[in-house]
Structure 1
Amino acid sequence: MKQGIHPDYHEVVFMDSATGYKFLSGSTKTSEETVEWEDGKTYPLIRVEISSDSHPFYTGKQKFTQADGRVDRFNKKYGFTN
């Protein structure tokens, strides 16, 4: 590896914003926010929107989005029927 061109690789804690699940991993990302981990050390905290704890592929729970289109949603919202 060429010296001086790569970002610093260190340990950080990732936290799933949806479930609060935390895990320690190596990353080049950093954060001003920190958290104390189970080993008593303080690590940067990176908040993520989805992880294996909340992703439907891993949990087996699928969220279904609304299948009808814009016109149907408008009609439902304003009480129009066909």
Structure 2
Amino acid sequence: MKKGIHPKYSQISAKCVCGNTMILFSTLNQELLNIDICYKCHPFYTGQQRVLNKGGRIERFNKKFFS
């Protein structure tokens, strides 16, 4: 392997707008990464996500491929 061509892989902090802070490893050249959403405030992980069935799309898909 060639020496000196790989980026520095270091520990950084990622801070979400909800206040959660995580420790990550990255090749970014900064110590703090500001993010908009994380696992503590994302609707999928918090159980607040809703499945919207517009016009019976799910039923039509299931009928077409699983009948």
Partner of 1:36: none
Shift of 1:3: 2.3
Partner of 1:11: 11
Q: Is 1:58 equivalent to 2:57 in the alignment?
A: no
Structure 1: give runs of 5+ residues left out of the alignment.
32-43, 64-82
Query: 1:50 and 1:56 mapped to 2: Cα distance?
Result: 10
Opposite residue 28 of structure 1, the aligned amino acid is T
Aligned identity (percent) is 38
Partner of 2:28: 29
Q: Superposition pairs for residues 37-52 of structure 1, below 5 Å? A: 44-52=31-39
Runs of 4+ in 1 over 2 A off after TM superposition: none
Report if the CA contact (8 A) 1:30-1:46 is conserved: no
Q: How many residues align?
A: 52
Question: TM-score with structure 2 length normalisation?
Answer: 0.62
